[in-house]
């Protein structure tokens, strides 16, 4: 951490105790001023349905339409929200529902481009799931459309949930201070026991539902899972990898799929630090997490919780006496808790370990806040494009078995 970073950090925080204990780390929900932000959901599958649940918690937002090419899926999602209009055509939806202000795009990855560009052209703010697309060309096309739309004061938000996560924002403050100090290595994994295969009686429908298993459409585990974790490291380090090696195979789901169910990637950064990333659909041990190893401490993040493990020879900062602790075998972790001061005053500090809402909620809340308050997106189209291009390189490395070069200067130019 250079002197300027340290000065800015301390000026904003005052001391580590403020960063770890100030109640402002749990953001308030977007404030409704007058009419709510009218939102249309595009894509009513699993992720779209999850978005509906979280949007219902935000008073400043109102879902007014659902669009999905599958009528039954659109109808099923619409039943979650009263008074919502249902469409199978995007053009028809925009033509008939004039009050739409913004859209949430939750279609399959390879189908993001058309609705993203069409929505921006129609003057709508856009929240788009990541990865942004399944090809470099589509990623750049979406990014260019979003950049052009800024002239019309339209917000394009990439669904990189770590940047809105209160625990991750809190942890980034620690990372960019002497609490962690010299970065030694980075590790991450996304392990789950699931198939990704969706059964269907009709072959055409089955093929459409299982796009993530089709090598012509899918960018595999590095794309669908890695993109979110890669972005966390980009955001914390304010840097991008220069190359990636990868390997993968089908270890468990031998059902004719074309995409590996288990992969490993090694991403190299110009400063010599490496990120080791693993993902599998065959085992759920230790789930999904990211780890930063520093000379003073390690930070472990697990999306709804986070911990810091201080080295025995690390200097005391003074706030540790107030910290909640949790034992991990022979290691003791300091839990990173949002709203810690408030919880401590209520005698509920241990109950605060974890988030009260899923990470998706905070990302959608930030999108609504950006639109209603005229603020830039927390995760921009450029952020989404960079993370997706790194994920594309990682997927290529896994598929080819070769080291794939990444140009950080090109990523920064977006």
Q: What span, in angstroms and rounded, lies between the C-alpha atoms of 339 and 350?
A: 11
Whether 131 and 110 have beta carbons less than 8 Å apart is answered as: no
Burial 385-400 (b: 16+ CB within 10 A, else e): bbbbbbbbbbbbbbbe
Instruction: Say what percent of the chain tops pLDDT 70.
Output: 85
Q: What six digits make up the tokens of 362?
A: 């905070």
Mean pLDDT of 254-275: 97
What DSSP string runs through 52-79? Answer: HHHHTT-TTEEEEEEE-SSHHHHHHHHT
DSSP letter at 31?
A: P
C-alpha angle with apex 152: 151 to 153, nearest 5 degrees? 90
Q: What span, in angstroms and rounded, lies between the C-alpha atoms of 402 and 243?
A: 10
How many CB atoms within 10 Å of residue 238?
9
**What is 182-354+381-412's CATH superfamily?**
Dihydrodipicolinate Reductase; domain 2 (3.30.360.10)
pLDDT in tens, 186-200: 999 999 999 999 999
Q: What span, in angstroms and rounded, lies between the C-alpha atoms of 12 and 172?
A: 13
Instruction: Say what percent of the chain tops pLDDT 90.
Output: 71
Alpha helices for 241-281 (secondary structure H): none
pLDDT of residue 170: 86
Confidence (pTM): 0.89
pLDDT in tens, 27-41: 778 878 889 999 999
pLDDT in tens, 280-308: 999 999 999 999 999 998 899 999 888 88
How many CB atoms within 10 Å of residue 302?
15
pLDDT of residue 308: 84
Q: What span, in angstroms and rounded, lies between the C-alpha atoms of 22 and 170?
A: 10
pLDDT of residue 335: 63
**Which helix (H) or strand (E) element contains residue 208?**
helix 203-209
pLDDT in tens, 305-349: 888 888 888 877 655 554 566 665 566 556 665 554 444 444 443
Is residue 130 very low, low, confident or very high in pLDDT (cuts 50, 70, 90)? very high
pLDDT of residue 77: 84
In a 3-state reduction of DSSP, which class is residue 309?
Answer: strand
pLDDT of residue 16: 32
Identify which has the larger pLDDT, 186 or 11.
Answer: 186
pLDDT of residue 365: 97
Average pLDDT for the chain: 87
pLDDT of residue 7: 38
Q: Please check the confidence at residue 86 and state whether its pLDDT lies above 70.
A: yes
Whether 306 and 168 have beta carbons less than 8 Å apart is answered as: yes
Q: What span, in angstroms and rounded, lies between the C-alpha atoms of 20 and 167?
A: 10
Is residue 265 very low, low, confident or very high in pLDDT (cuts 50, 70, 90)? very high
pLDDT of residue 328: 59
Is residue 251 very low, low, confident or very high in pLDDT (cuts 50, 70, 90)? very high
Mean pLDDT of 112-141: 98
Domain boundaries, the chain: 182-354+381-412
How many CB atoms within 10 Å of residue 305?
17
């Amino acid at each position: 951490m250079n002197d300027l970073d340290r000065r800015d950090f301390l000026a904003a925080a005052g001391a580590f105790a403020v960063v770890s204990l100030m109640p402002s780390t749990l953001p308030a929900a977007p404030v409704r001023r007058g009419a709510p932000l009218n939102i249309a959901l595009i894509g009513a599958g699993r992720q779209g349905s999850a978005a509906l649940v979280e949007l219902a918690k935000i008073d400043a937002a109102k879902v007014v339409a659902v669009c999905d090419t599958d009528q039954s899926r659109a109808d099923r999602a619409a039943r979650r929200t009263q008074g919502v209009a249902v469409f199978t055509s995007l053009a028809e939806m925009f033509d008939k529902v004039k009050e739409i202000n913004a859209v949430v795009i939750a279609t399959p990855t390879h189908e993001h481009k058309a609705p993203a560009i069409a929505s921006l052209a129609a003057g709508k703010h856009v929240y788009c799931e990541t990865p942004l697309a399944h090809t470099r060309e589509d990623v750049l096309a979406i990014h260019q459309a979003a950049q052009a739309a800024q002239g019309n004061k339209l917000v394009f938000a990439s669904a990189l949930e770590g940047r809105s996560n209160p625990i991750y924002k809190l942890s980034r403050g620690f990372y960019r201070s002497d609490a962690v100090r010299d970065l030694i290595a980075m590790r991450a994994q996304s392990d789950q026991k699931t198939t990704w295969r969706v059964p269907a009686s009709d072959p055409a429908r089955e093929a459409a539902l299982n796009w993530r298993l089709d090598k012509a459409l899918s960018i595999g585990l590095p794309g669908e899972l890695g993109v979110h974790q890669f972005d966390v490291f980009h955001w914390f380090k304010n840097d991008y990898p220069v190359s990636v090696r990868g390997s993968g195979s089908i270890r468990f789901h031998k059902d004719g799929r074309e995409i590996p169910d288990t992969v490993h990637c090694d991403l190299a950064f110009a400063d010599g630090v490496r990120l080791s990333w693993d993902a599998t659909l065959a085992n759920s041990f230790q789930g999904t997490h990211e780890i930063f190893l520093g000379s003073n401490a390690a930070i472990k993040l697990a999306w709804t919780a986070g911990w810091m493990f201080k080295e025995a020879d690390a200097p005391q900062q003074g706030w540790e006496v107030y910290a909640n602790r949790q034992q991990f075998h022979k290691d003791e972790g300091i839990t990173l808790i949002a709203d810690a001061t408030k919880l401590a005053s209520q005698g509920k500090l241990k109950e605060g370990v974890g988030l009260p809402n899923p990470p998706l909620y905070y990302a959608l809340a930030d999108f609504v806040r950006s639109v209603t308050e005229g603020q830039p997106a927390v995760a921009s189209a450029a952020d989404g494009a960079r993370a997706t291009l790194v994920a594309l390189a990682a997927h290529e490395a896994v598929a080819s078995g070769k080291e794939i070069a990444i140009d950080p200067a090109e990523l920064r130019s977006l």
